[in-house]
């Protein structure tokens, strides 16, 4: 079974530029998550989709971050404009469905973003 795919793996941009990350979840997984992981910290949930609807985006900085999951499969996360403090690893995860009592999340390898 293929895992969660993410691209690119690494990205370096200047502050105020824009950047986009792509995620392809495990086939059949209804729930998709984007996390931000700053160096030395645990992952922090940015946004959660159930199919193509947003379930939780309470920690997404909506003035600069946006995400979509058209057709309920692939997802993109965009930052525009980027700030220095956005330097982090962006992780995508997927699961069968959040309403399962033992819903297990599976993570992709992440995209390491460096903002100069």
Partner 1 sequence: DAKTTQPTSMDCAEGRAANLPCNHSTISGNEYVYWYRQIHSQGPQYIIHGLKNNETNEMASLIITEDRKSSTLILPHATLRDTAVYYCIVRGSGTYKYIFGTGTRLKVLA
Q: What gap in Å lies between CA 26 and CA 72, rounded to an integer?
A: 12
Q: Which is nearer to partner 1, 5 or 13 (CB)?
A: 5
Contacts of 62 (CB under 8 A, 6+ apart): none
Q: Which is nearer to partner 1, 55 or 116 (CB)?
A: 55
Q: Is 22 exposed, middle or buried (0-12, 13-18, 19+ CB in 10 A)?
A: middle
Q: Which stretch binds partner 1 (CB under 8 A): 43-51, 60-68, 70-78, 80-88?
A: 43-51
Q: Which is nearer to partner 1, 14 or 101 (CB)?
A: 101
Q: What residues between 95 and 114 interact with partner 1 by CB under 8 A?
A: 98-99, 101-110, 112
Q: What gap in Å lies between CA 15 and CA 101, rounded to an integer?
A: 41
Query: By rule CB under 8 A, what count of residues binds partner 1?
Result: 24
Q: What gap in Å lies between CA 48 and CA 68, rounded to an integer?
A: 10
Positions touching partner 1 (CB under 8 A) are 4, 40-45, 48, 56, 91, 93, 98-99, 101-110, 112
């Amino acid at each position: 079974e293929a895992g969660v795919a993410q691209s690119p793996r690494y990205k370096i941009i200047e502050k105020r530029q824009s950047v986009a990350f792509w995620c392809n979840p495990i086939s059949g997984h209804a729930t998709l998550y984007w996390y931000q992981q700053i160096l030395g910290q645990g992952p922090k949930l940015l946004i959660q989709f159930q199919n193509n609807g947003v379930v939780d985006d309470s920690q997404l900085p909506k003035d600069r971050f946006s995400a979509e999951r058209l057709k309920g499969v692939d997802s993109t996360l965009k930052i525009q404009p980027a700030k220095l403090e956005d330097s982090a690893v962006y992780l995508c995860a997927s699961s069968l469905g959040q309403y399962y009592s033992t819903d297990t999340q599976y993570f992709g390898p992440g995209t390491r973003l460096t903002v100069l």
